Structure 1
Amino acid sequence: MNQTFTLREKITQIFIMLIPILITQLGMFSMVFFNTIMSGKYSSVDLAGVAIGSSIWNPIFTGLSGILLAISPIVAQHFGKQEHKEISSVVAHGVYLAVFLALIVLIVGFFFLKPLLAMMDLDAGVEGVAHDYLVGLSIGIIPLFVFNALRSFIYGLGKTRVVMFLLLSVLPVNLVLNYMLIYGKWIFPELGGAGGGYATACTFWLILIMTIIVIRTQEPFSKTVQLSSFRAFSLQKCTEILKIGVPMGLSIFFETSMFAVVTILISRFDVTTIAAYQSALNIVSFLYMIPLSMSMALTVLVGFEVGAKRNRDAQVYSWLGIALSVLIALITGTLVIIFRYDVAAFYSNETAVLNMTAHFLIYALFFQISDAVQATAQSALRGYKDVNIAFVITLIAYWLVCLPIGYLLAHFANLGARGYWIGLTIGLLAAGVALSARLIYIQKRKFQSVMEKVG
């Protein structure tokens, strides 16, 4: 990252950061994409099972790993201040937290996975696939969390292309493993949808090993991260990450768990509706990688400028990111509506599932725009390390707006599963407006603080 002086330079800097992150996010998402596509081609029962398993796993992973995202703005601000020794300590304690969080997930899953699935009253075949998929995935939880901690550190330095190349190098391995384990090719057993979980877990181990090698051997990582930092444990350093990370993680958890609850509520419909909803959500989530990647880039860029005390530049980056995200969401959402039947055909060969998926995708445009605003506004606030109010805003928007409205429209307005899509869109829009207002307030306060010091 470098200091920028013109609007054109800032836009260029955003895209230099954004494109590798986007490719990385699309690569991460494609692992789930491969699981869903191949499971859907295997059978609708396996598709529904993977959908339920993913709906349980996603809020847990994104919520807890969201804590580790705090490493990026902390590292970025230290980098802006040229405090390199502090960065090494943050990385070490981020890795410790990653292992601790992964162990918690494994222990809780061991005791509560089967009771949770039993409570959902699923079809026996769907329940079996969901259970086996999550068991397979659990083998890769520790490397996945540690990789996310190290990835956040690399992003904090602005070296986003490194992670992109690492992920692209393991994607072919993931695709081949999915094919072999889902369909039972060559010497491998035919595991159906559950095979995707095992394939993804193996991929997580591989990318962690490769990331460690890069950090140990390549500059500037090898000079920044010192092994001595791992021997000096400090509760204060962990607390610094947790103070920012916990509200970030909770905000992400409330968003993803909201989608999980909707999936669970829709699971009471027939298998066709479950499969169609999950397919449509998978497509929308794929497109969400763009504002998500923009948000990661913004967090680092805003944090870097705040650390260097260039508040005007931080402000410009914030609103540039929001504007670009909305523009991209408008374009991609429109294209999805136009080609909705072609896109839906990727997920299923069954006519009923295909038609219902295409119908759900009509709501994609408004959903994407609302999600783009809330994601990027929240990320800019993270760059300022302002996370507590954002957590409260998302809690209210997701659980007191999205779900109640969606439930009422689905069950009392005779809209069925469509009502949930409308409720989700309204809640995300409410979050976007409130977070943008908070961002304006924080930026004004920063400006006033600077003026008082000058005066």
Structure 2
Amino acid sequence: MQETNTLKEKLKLFSIILIPILITQVSMYLMNFFDTVMSGRVSAQDLAGVAIGSSLWVPVFTGVNGIMLAITPIIGQLIGANKNKEVPKKVQQGIYLAITIAIFIFLAGALALKPILNFMDLEDSVRHIAAFYLITLITGIIPLFIFNTLRSFIDAMGQTRISMMIILITLPLNVLFNYIFIFGKFGVPALGGIGSGVATSVTYWVSCIIALAVIHKINPFRRFHVFSNWVKPSLKAWLEQLKIGIPIGLAIFFETSIFSAVTLFMSVYNTNTIAAHQAAMNFATLLYMIPLSVGMALTIAIAFEIGAKRYKDARTYGYIGISGGIFIAVFAGLILYLFSGSVASLYNSNPNVIALTKQFIYFAIFYQLADAFGAPIQGALRGYKDVNVTLIVALVSYWGIGLPTGWLLANFTALEPFGYWVGLITGLTCGAVALIIRLLSLHKKYRTR
């Protein structure tokens, strides 16, 4: 990261930070994308099983990952304030906390997985695939959380290209592992959708090992000596990270879990409807990586400027994010509209599933329009370490407005399963408006300083 003086310099620096993050986020999500698509080539049951498993795993992962994301503004503000000596201790405590949380999630999953799946009205084969997909995937949870902590440290320094290179190395490996374990190649038995869980777990281990090597051997990370002079775990340091990370994580959890809740409610429909809904949601979420990446870049840039007490520059980056959100909303909507048929055929060859998927995709266009505004603004607020309001907005807009609206429309109108998508659109729109108001209020507050 470096100080910039003109709008042109800011746009250039922001692009340098953003593009690698975008490639990284898309590549990371492509792992889930390939899990779903390649499993769907086995059968509709495998597609539905992996979809259900993913719908349970993604909100847990993204919510908990919010705690690791807190490292980015913490380190960013320290670097902006030239307090580099404090950085290694923060990263070490982040690693301790990541391991502790991973163990807790592992134990909680062991207790809760079977009751949750039994509660859902699923075919036995779909339930079996979902269960063992999650069981195999969770064996990689510790290296995954460590990797995300290290990645937050890497990104906070503005070295987002390093994260990009790590993911670009591991993505093709994930596809190869999927090919081996799903379809049974090179003497390995064909595991179907369960094999995608094995492949993803192995990929998590590879990503973590590469990140550890990079930070230990390559500058500018090497000069911080993150893995030397280890300090003892500190509850005080954990609480500092949790104070920022828990609101971030809960806000992300409320947003992502509503999609899982919708999938659970839609389990009353047939397997084709579940598969079509999840296929449309899967691709829409892939497009969501664009505004999410803008938000992550804003967190890095704004945290650096706030640490250096350059509040006007931080405000300028905020406006860049809002403008980017407008462009992204239009771009994502066009992609979904123009390629709805092609996207639907990627997931399944069943004509009924394809037709249903296209209908869901048309609703996803409007869902993207709202989400493309909200995600960049959330990232900007994280740069200010302003996370509590985002948490409240997420809870009210998604669970207080979106889900009830969707349930009413699905059960008492002719929209049926599509009613849930209208509810999602309503909740996301309300949330985006509230977040814009909050960011503009923060800009006004810091202008007085």
Does the Cα contact within 8 Å between 1:302 and 1:383 map onto a contact in 2?
yes
* CA-to-aligned-CA distance 1:83-119 (integer Å, 9 cap, x gap): 1111111101110111011001110111111111111
What does residue range 443-454 of structure 1 map to in structure 2 within 5 Å?
443-448=443-448, 450=449
Aligned to 1:60: 60
Does the Cα contact within 8 Å between 1:290 and 1:325 map onto a contact in 2?
no
Aligned to 2:33: 33
Does the Cα contact within 8 Å between 1:292 and 1:375 map onto a contact in 2?
yes
What does residue range 330-369 of structure 1 map to in structure 2 within 5 Å?
330-369=330-369
Quote the Cα distance in structure 2 between the aligned partners of 1:193 and 1:68: 29
Does the Cα contact within 8 Å between 2:216 and 2:226 map onto a contact in 1?
no
Are residues 1:178 and 2:178 paired?
yes
Letter in 2 for 1:413: T
Quote the Cα distance in structure 2 between the aligned partners of 1:244 and 1:412: 40
**Runs of 5+ consecutive residues of structure 1 not aligned to the other structure:** 451-455
Does the Cα contact within 8 Å between 2:121 and 2:267 map onto a contact in 1?
no
Q: Matched residue of 1:141: which SS?
A: helix
Does the Cα contact within 8 Å between 1:401 and 1:423 map onto a contact in 2?
yes
Q: Matched residue of 2:41: which SS?
A: helix
CA-CA distance at 1:418 after TM superposition = 1.1
Q: Matched residue of 1:334: which SS?
A: helix
CA-CA distance at 1:439 after TM superposition = 1.0
Aligned to 1:323: 323
Quote the Cα distance in structure 2 between the aligned partners of 1:284 and 1:342: 14
CA-CA distance at 1:238 after TM superposition = 1.3
What does residue range 15-414 of structure 1 map to in structure 2 within 5 Å?
15-228=15-228, 230-414=230-414
| 4+ runs deviating over 4 angstroms | none
Does the Cα contact within 8 Å between 1:377 and 1:435 map onto a contact in 2?
yes
The normalised TM-score by structure 2 is 0.98
Q: Matched residue of 1:139: which SS?
A: helix
Quote the Cα distance in structure 2 between the aligned partners of 1:364 and 1:258: 15
Say how many residue pairs are matched.
449
Aligned to 1:426: 426
* CA-to-aligned-CA distance 1:392-432 (integer Å, 9 cap, x gap): 11110110011011111111122011111111111111111
Does the Cα contact within 8 Å between 1:322 and 1:372 map onto a contact in 2?
no
Does the Cα contact within 8 Å between 2:329 and 2:373 map onto a contact in 1?
no
Letter in 1 for 2:70: A
Letter in 2 for 1:257: S
Quote the Cα distance in structure 2 between the aligned partners of 1:230 and 1:117: 41
CA-CA distance at 1:186 after TM superposition = 2.0
CA-CA distance at 1:226 after TM superposition = 3.3
**Runs of 5+ consecutive residues of structure 2 not aligned to the other structure:** none
Does the Cα contact within 8 Å between 1:93 and 1:230 map onto a contact in 2?
no
Q: Matched residue of 2:122: which SS?
A: coil
Aligned-pair Cα RMSD in Å:
1.0
Quote the Cα distance in structure 2 between the aligned partners of 1:30 and 1:134: 18
* CA-to-aligned-CA distance 1:334-384 (integer Å, 9 cap, x gap): 121122101111111000000111111112322112101111111111100
Does the Cα contact within 8 Å between 2:71 and 2:241 map onto a contact in 1?
yes
Q: Matched residue of 1:346: which SS?
A: helix
Quote the Cα distance in structure 1 between the aligned partners of 2:172 and 2:320: 35
The normalised TM-score by structure 1 is 0.97
CA-CA distance at 1:329 after TM superposition = 2.3
- Matched-pair identity in %: 47
Does the Cα contact within 8 Å between 2:53 and 2:133 map onto a contact in 1?
yes
Quote the Cα distance in structure 1 between the aligned partners of 2:210 and 2:20: 17
Does the Cα contact within 8 Å between 2:280 and 2:357 map onto a contact in 1?
yes
CA-CA distance at 1:228 after TM superposition = 4.4
Quote the Cα distance in structure 1 between the aligned partners of 2:130 and 2:230: 37
Q: Matched residue of 2:293: which SS?
A: helix
Quote the Cα distance in structure 1 between the aligned partners of 2:144 and 2:227: 21
Quote the Cα distance in structure 2 between the aligned partners of 1:377 and 1:356: 33
Quote the Cα distance in structure 2 between the aligned partners of 1:364 and 1:388: 28
